[in-house]
């Protein structure tokens, strides 16, 4: 049963943390780009596992183990269906987006040779920069960068010029965590495939905001974190096409990723277990499946419209304030506003907002190259989710009107 997309009160009622106060003020949570809050159904599912089902999975013949295994693998199937993946075994459980990207950088990276090229963009999170730098150092490959303009949009004409027969992988973010830009990943994927290159999409900031169908996108890898999509921390998913995953060597060795082990030789397990060494975050995987079930009740079309309305409302309000500069003004963006207040430090603004019960993020947001491009130390970032409303934005704007004069004297 879907929650009425315009009944924000019902949606908010699903999130118990929104009832609490911070510094004797009602919590206004605008740090959703870092992590989103959890609905009661996810919290209850975590509690149910530890109170009724706690056991290791895949190995046990006893009832609890089989129950836990069934719940874990049902979650994998739920996520497969949501993403539109062709096969269940293409869904690899990871620790999160960073872990998924590192898996590809190490494992797919073993298939690369000296002189091969990897393309990333100038707006990537550090997690989609550093693993490729490490790979290029390890394998003597070359890293190419897609530039961006002052609106926070990628220069796709330059991207097409960067592509060549040497290009083996393109790794780009679906949505920028610092700017909110929604990149034209369909175009990026299509052009890369013309040169036989594989494409990894960092979906950490997209999965909770827009529909994602990996077969429609035709991406080769898609990585995201559970805690960005109403699930727990410490769990995520890497989607990969079967034919590519089968060619890649295991990322880690240990239990569950093996078929047979002797003291002299090991043969590896089938997908997805080949990439899931050791006891996984069982409850994380199960609860992530529940988070996707919750997301499906929200109606993505209604969610997109609601968040777009919040973005437009907040943007208009900030543009009408003197001395505020907004960074990231792409034509196609999601509900993230990064800004600075003239004559103030973002940390100071964030600290005073916190005293008023308003949670925002300040700093470089793990995107130092973006900050270097704009010549700034960092920004104040307000990022909205399905449970935020315009009344909260009004309080946020009024708080800024109070704070700014204090910091300028």
**What residues are labeled active site?**
366
Nearest to 129 by CA among 138, 119, 116: 119
- Tell me if the bond preceding 221 is cis, omega within 30° of 0: no
Q: Measuring CA to CA, how many Å separate 194 from each of 109, 368, 392, 407? A: 20, 31, 46, 53
Residue 396 contacts residue 359 (beta carbons within 8 Å): no
Reduced to 3 states, what is the DSSP secondary structure of residue 405?
Answer: helix
- Hey, CA dihedral for 46, 49, 54, 58, is it positive or negative? negative
Vertex 61, ends 57 and 64: CA angle to 5°? 60
- The first and second tokens of residue 369, run together, are 């190259």
**Residue 292, C-beta contacts closer than 8 angstroms, at least 6 positions apart:** 75, 78, 79, 82, 229, 231
Task: State whether the Cα torsion 166-172-178-181 is positive or negative.
Answer: positive
Count other C-beta atoms under 10 Å from residue 193's C-beta.
15
What residues form DSSP beta bridges with 148?
154
Rg from Cα positions in the chain: 22
| CA–CA distance, 241 with 81 (Å, rounded to integer) | 15
- Rounded Cα distance between 104 and 223, Å, is 10
Helices 346-355 and 390-407, packing angle to 10 deg: 120
Alpha-carbon distance of 140 to 238, in angstroms, equals 25
**Is the distance from CB of 159 to CB of 120 less than 8 angstroms?**
no
């Amino acid at each position: 049963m879907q929650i009425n997309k315009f009944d924000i009160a019902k949606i908010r009622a699903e999130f118990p943390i929104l009832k609490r106060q911070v510094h004797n003020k009602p919590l206004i949570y605008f740090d959703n780009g870092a992590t989103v809050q959890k609905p009661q159904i996810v919290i209850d599912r975590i509690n149910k596992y530890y109170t009724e089902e706690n056991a290791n999975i895949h190995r046990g013949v006893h009832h609890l183990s089989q129950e836990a295994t069934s719940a874990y693998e049902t979650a994998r199937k739920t996520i497969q269906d949501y993403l539109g993946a062709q096969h269940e075994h293409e869904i690899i459980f990871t620790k999160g987006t960073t872990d998924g990207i590192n898996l590809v950088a190490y494992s797919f990276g073993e298939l690369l040779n000296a002189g091969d090229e990897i393309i990333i963009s100038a707006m990537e999170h550090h997690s989609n920069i550093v693993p490729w730098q490490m790979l290029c150092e390890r394998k003597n490959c070359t890293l190419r960068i897609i530039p961006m303009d002052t609106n926070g949009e990628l220069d796709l004409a330059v991207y097409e010029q960067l592509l060549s027969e040497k290009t083996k992988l393109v790794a780009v973010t679906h949505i920028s965590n610092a700017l909110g830009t929604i990149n034209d990943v369909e175009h990026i994927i299509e052009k890369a495939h013309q040169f036989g290159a594989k494409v990894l999409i960092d979906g950490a900031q997209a999965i909770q905001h827009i529909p994602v169908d990996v077969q429609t996108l035709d991406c080769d890898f898609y990585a995201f974190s559970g805690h960005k999509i109403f699930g727990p921390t410490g769990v995520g998913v890497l989607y990969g096409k079967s034919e590519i995953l089968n060619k890649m060597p295991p990322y880690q060795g240990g239990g569950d990723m093996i078929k047979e082990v002797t003291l002299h030789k090991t043969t590896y397990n089938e997908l997805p277990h080949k990439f899931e060494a050791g006891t996984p975050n069982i409850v994380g995987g199960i609860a992530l499946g529940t988070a996707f079930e919750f997301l499906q009740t929200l109606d993505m079309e209604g969610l997109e419209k609601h968040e777009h309305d919040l973005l437009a409302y907040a943007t208009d309000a900030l543009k009408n304030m003197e001395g505020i500069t907004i960074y990231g003004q792409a034509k196609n963006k999601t509900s993230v506003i990064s800004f600075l207040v003239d004559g103030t430090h973002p940390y100071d603004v964030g600290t005073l907002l916190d005293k008023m019960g308003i949670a925002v993020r300040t700093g470089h947001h793990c995107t130092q190259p973006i900050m270097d491009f704009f010549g700034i130390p960092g920004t104040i970032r307000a990022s909205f989710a399905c449970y935020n409303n315009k009344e909260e934005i009004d309080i946020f704007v009024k708080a800024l009107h109070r704070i700014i004069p204090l910091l300028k004297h």
